[in-house]
Amino acid sequence: MEPQSQNLKTIPLLSLGRFHISEEYGFLLPNPLKELPDHYRPWMEIANKLPHLIESHQLQAQVDKMPLLTCQFLQSYREQRLAHLVLSFITMGYVWQKGETQPKEVLPRNLALPFVEVSRNLGIPPILVHADLVLTNWTTRDPERPLEIRNLDVIFSFPGEESLRGFILVTVLVEKAAVPGIKALVQAVNAILQPSQNSLLQALQRLRLCIQDITRTLGQMHDYVDPDIFYAVIRIFLSGWKDNPAMPVGLIYEGVSPEPLKYSGGSAAQSTVLHAFDEFLGICHSKESADFLHRMREYMPPSHKAFIEEIHSTPSLRDHILSSGNGQLLTAYNQCVEALAELRSYHITVVTKYLITAATKAKGRRPNYVPGPPLALEERGTGRSTF
C-alpha cells in the first residue's frame, strides 16, 4: 500500500482557482458586465430591445442594417463573455423571429463573422449556450443584499419575459446552490490524494446536503415559470439547428462557411455541475445518455470542461471507499448517490410538467403567443435530448 500512497502524493491537489471557478459563485461568472465599449453600441441597442423587436417582427430588418464590427476592441475575458451573450441572443431572435415554420437559414455576415470570432476566442460554439443564458446573464438589484430571486434580474431577455426571467434566475440560484458541493468535491478529492478519512467523510456529508439543497432550489421553478408560456413562447428561442426537423440542414454562417453548420440548442446538460458530481461519484449512464452528455461538454467554457476531465483523472472515489473498509464512508457515499438520484427524478417531474404535459395541452389549442409552440421539438429538450 505504501507505494500507492507515495504515487497519490505526486498528483497535484485539486483547486477551483486553477479552472477559473469562483469560490463564491461556482461556475457563474461573478458580477457579469452589463455594458460593452461604445464601439459596440449597435449591438447593445438591438439586444436591449430584443423582446419588442421580435414581437413586432422588426428584428431581422434591424440586424440586416447593423454595421459589421470587429471584436478587436473587446479588452477582457468578461467583455468577450458579454459579447457572446449579446450576439447569441440576437442570433436566436433573428433565426426564430417568425417561428419554426419560417426560420432564417442564413445568418448575415455582419452577425455571423463577429459571433464566430468571439466564439473561437472563448472556445465555445457560436450559438446560445448555458454559459450565456444563465452563467453570464444575471445581475443583482442591490449588491449588498443576498442572492435571492427578488434581488436578481436578467441582463437580456426574449418574449415570455416574466416566465423567462423566472426560468433563468431559478437556474442561476441552482448554480449558486451547487457551490458548497463543488467545494466539498474538491475537499474530497484532496482527502483521497493526501489520505484523510475524516476530511473525506465530512466532504461527502456536505455534498449530500448540497445536492438536497439544489433539489429544493429547483422547486422554485413552479413558482416563477408558467408551463404554457415556457412551452409555447420561450423554448423556440433556446432551440438549435442540429437534429432539428425545422432546420434539417443547419444554419449558414455567411462569410464563415459555405456549408451549413449544426449546433445543439441550450440544455441543462451544458451545466458543469452534474457532470462534475457524476465523474466524482463514478456514475455510469446508458450509452445514448452518455454520448449526449459528453457532446454537451463541447458547449461549456473550456476551463469548466477541463475541471470535469481533471476529476475523471483522479483516483476512483468508489474504489477508495471500498478498499478502506470504512462503514461510515460507505454510508455517506451511498447517501450522496441517493440524493443525486432524487435530484434527477425531481428534474424529470419538472420536465414532465413543462414539456410533456404542456405539449399535450398545446395540441388542443393555438395560443395567442409569439411565435407559437415548436412542434419539431415536441417531447424533446431544446438540446434535442429525448425525454
Q: What is the CATH number of the domain that holds 208?
A: 1.20.58.480
Amino acid, res. 99: G
Residue 175 lies in a domain: yes
Residue 57 lies in a domain: no
Residue 35 lies in a domain: no
Q: Which residues are annotated as a binding site?
A: 347
Residue 279 lies in a domain: yes
Domain range for 294 is 1-17+160-230+268-369
Inter-CA distances, 202 with 26, 33, 213, 325, Å: 20, 36, 17, 17
Residue 328 lies in a domain: yes
DSSP string of 352-366, one letter each residue: IIIIIIHHHHHHT--
Specify the DSSP class assigned to residue 357: I
Output the tens digit of pLDDT for each of the chain's 387 residues: 334 444 554 678 999 999 999 999 999 999 999 999 999 999 999 999 999 999 999 999 999 999 999 999 999 999 999 999 999 999 999 999 999 999 999 999 999 999 999 999 999 999 999 999 999 999 999 999 999 999 999 999 999 989 999 999 999 999 999 999 999 999 999 999 999 999 999 999 999 999 999 999 999 999 999 999 999 999 999 999 999 999 999 999 999 999 999 999 999 999 999 999 999 999 999 999 999 999 999 999 999 999 999 999 999 999 999 999 999 999 999 999 999 999 999 999 988 887 877 777 766 555 444 445 555 555 555 544 554
Q: In whole angstroms, give the CA distance from residue 240 to residue 136.
A: 19
Q: In whole angstroms, give the CA distance from residue 329 to residue 325.
A: 8
Residue 180 lies in a domain: yes
Cis-peptide, bond into residue 371, ω within 30° of zero = yes
Residue 36 lies in a domain: no
The total of structural domains in the chain comes to 1
Residue 199 lies in a domain: yes
Q: Which residues are annotated as a binding site for heme b?
A: 347
Judge whether 246 and 374 are in contact, CB under 8 Å. yes
Match 441517493 to its residue by C-alpha cell. 338
Q: In whole angstroms, give the CA distance from residue 159 to residue 226.
A: 13
Q: In whole angstroms, give the CA distance from residue 293 to residue 312.
A: 14
Cα dihedral 243/244/245/250 (nearest 10)? -80
Cβ-based neighbour number of residue 81 at 10 Å? 23
pTM: 0.91
